[in-house]
Amino acid sequence: MFSEELKAFRRLGLRHVLLQALNFASVIASGLMIWKGLGLVTNSESPIVVVLSGSMEPAFYRGDLLFLTNPSSEKYHNGDITVYKIPGADIPIVHRVLETHDAKTRTGDQSVPKQRLLTKGDNNEVNDIELYRGLEYLERKHIVGKVRGFLPYIGYVTIAMNDFPQLKYALLGGLGLLALIQRE
pLDDT tens for each residue of 20-33? 788 888 988 999 99
State the amino acid at position 99 in one-letter form.
Answer: E
Residue 40 lies inside a defined structural domain of this protein: no
Helix/strand/coil for 155: coil
pLDDT of residue 30: 95
Residue 137 lies inside a defined structural domain of this protein: yes
Helix/strand/coil for 158: helix
Q: What pLDDT digit, counting tens, does each position of 87-120 carry?
A: 888 889 999 999 999 887 777 777 777 899 999 9
Residue 131 lies inside a defined structural domain of this protein: yes
Whole-number average pLDDT of the chain = 87
83: CATH: 2.10.109
pLDDT of residue 172: 84
pLDDT of residue 38: 93
Domain extent for 81: 48-157
Residue 85 lies inside a defined structural domain of this protein: yes
* Number of domains forming the structure of the chain: 1
Residue 179 lies inside a defined structural domain of this protein: no
Residue 176 lies inside a defined structural domain of this protein: no
Active site residues: 55, 95, 128
Residue 182 lies inside a defined structural domain of this protein: no
Angle CA(147)–CA(148)–CA(149) in degrees, nearest 5?
100
Residue 19 lies inside a defined structural domain of this protein: no
pLDDT over 70 percentage in the chain:
92
Residue 118's nearest CA partner among 65, 80, 172, 168 is: 80
The 10 Å CB-count burial string (b at 16+, else e) for 43-65 is ebebbbbbbbeebbeebbbbbbb
pLDDT of residue 63: 94
- What is the crossing angle of helices 165-181 and 14-42, to 10°? 130
Could you give the CA distance from residue 119 to residue 82 in angstroms, rounded to a whole number? 8
